[in-house]
Amino acid sequence: QVQLVESGGGSVQAGGSLRLSCATSGFSFKNICLGWFRQVPGKQREGVVGIYTGNNETTYADSVKGRFTISTDSSKNTLYLQLNSLKPDDTAVYYCAAGLSGRVCYPKTGIYQYWGQGTQVTVSS
């Protein structure tokens, strides 16, 4: 059974940092797509970053380039997202996702079949 469980969300002031974790089970980290997305109430889910674990190639949304960093620990089956220099516009529910059959891992929802339940990130000005 595939499971993804996010943690690490919270409330921070602008300029602060958070580290999100996504503990996974039920699949191997080998040669798959993993990604982070976010969603604000009333808006579509937005891709933040995708990574192909075969060669660690990443694709970031322009809005987070240079501020957010994705990483993986295959020994723990865990995905991370380091959020630095946070802005109020980064406030959202953040979701991790897995796409088990792709090699082009853009942060687009159609590539990913499995999703976590989300963790809230709130950035105050």
Residue 41: its pLDDT value, please? Answer: 94
Q: What is the pLDDT of residues 21-36, one digit of tens each?
A: 999 999 999 999 999 9
Q: What is the mean pLDDT of the chain?
A: 97
Q: What is the pLDDT of residues 52-102, one digit of tens each?
A: 999 999 999 999 999 999 999 999 999 999 999 999 999 999 999 999 987
Residue 102: its pLDDT value, please? Answer: 75
d(CA 55, CA 51): 9
